Amino acid sequence: MEPQVKLAAELMHLPGQEEYLLAASDVLLKLVPSDHVAWNEVNPSAGYAEVRAYPDHSGIDIPKMLLELVGEHPVVASFKRHPHDSLRRLSDVVSDRDLYRSRAFREGLSLLNVNRQLVALTSDVGSSVFRCWSMNRWGHDFSDNEVDLTARLQPMLRLLERTYAGDDASWGQFQAQRYSLTARELEVLQLLDKGITIVAIGHLLGISPRTVAKHLEHSYAKLGCTNRIEALRRMRGDR
């Protein structure tokens, strides 16, 4: 099984974002062995940052650290200079000499025992909100094969994050029972409501786009409508 398919299969049916982040970190640690992995979200203009590190670094206020140093991190600076690429290995963008002289290392990475990183964006390059997964080590750099594997996983991580953002497990449950929708039909409609395309839904669920379209066709018939706009309106209880 392809790693990205396995990733989706293991993470697609979790209750919510908390469970997703924990499970995703566990999968990433197995696929790309690291000292620790972290999911990061930072919005400098809003003065907001959130970090979920696995294993946790107790006693260190990592969100505050990230907010103060994100503009000086070599990888972040590299993303801004070269927005066409959303995957970075720290050693590819800065020499050890310059890294160890940087404030980002002295006041941040060194406290976390990190001098090797592999960072995969899950937000759009140039977005005001910066989201990413970072794999972190000391000493042993990430190989080209590990970079290639992460590149294959990255699109699925983007889709999964979008799936779990603002998760509402109760969405559509009442209407699904009312109209006798199957669990799979409800699942497809929930993903469609998040703006995920039919092709991407197929990737997430491990089924073909044609099968996704068939589930939608059956859902429309049960809901008494002819298109996705009407179907989603009906699922929200709107008339």
Number of domains the chain contains: 2
Which of the four pLDDT bands, split at 50, 70 and 90, describes residue 199? very high
Instruction: Assess whether 183 and 116 both reside in one domain.
Output: no
Instruction: Assess whether 63 and 181 both reside in one domain.
Output: no
Q: Work out the average pLDDT over 2-28.
A: 89
Q: What is the percent of the chain with per-residue pLDDT over 90, rounded to a whole number? A: 69
**26-30, 121-125, 152-156: range with lowest mean pLDDT:** 121-125
The full DSSP string for 141-180 is PPPHHHHHHHHHHHHHHHHHHHHHTT--TTTTHHHHHHTT
Report the CATH number that the domain containing residue 214 is assigned in CATH.
1.10.10.10
In a domain, 161, yes or no: no
* Domain boundary, last residue among 103, 124, 154: 154
Instruction: Assess whether 92 and 16 both reside in one domain.
Output: yes
Cβ distance 23 to 46 under 8 Å?
Answer: no
Q: Is the pTM of this model over 0.95?
A: no
Report the CATH number that the domain containing residue 142 is assigned in CATH.
3.30.450.80
pLDDT at 169: 60
How far is the C-alpha of 55 from the C-alpha of 103, rounded, in Å? 24
Instruction: Assess whether 179 and 140 both reside in one domain.
Output: no
pLDDT at 239: 52
Instruction: Assess whether 136 and 24 both reside in one domain.
Output: yes
Q: 1 or 203, which is more confident?
A: 203
Enclosing domain of residue 58 = 3-154
How far is the C-alpha of 11 from the C-alpha of 23, rounded, in Å? 7
Instruction: Assess whether 187 and 222 both reside in one domain.
Output: yes
For residue 50, pLDDT over 90 is answered with yes
Q: Work out the average pLDDT over 106-123.
A: 95
* Domain boundary, last residue among 90, 120, 154: 154
- The mean of the pLDDT values for the chain is 91
The full DSSP string for 195-212 is T--HHHHHHHHTS-HHHH
Instruction: Assess whether 126 and 207 both reside in one domain.
Output: no
In a domain, 99, yes or no: yes
pLDDT at 80: 85
pLDDT at 232: 92
* Domain boundary, last residue among 89, 119, 154: 154
| pLDDT 10s digits, 142-186 | 999 999 999 999 999 999 988 887 666 677 888 899 999 999 999
Q: What is the percent of the chain with per-residue pLDDT over 70, rounded to a whole number? A: 95
Nearest to 89 by CA among 74, 102, 101: 74
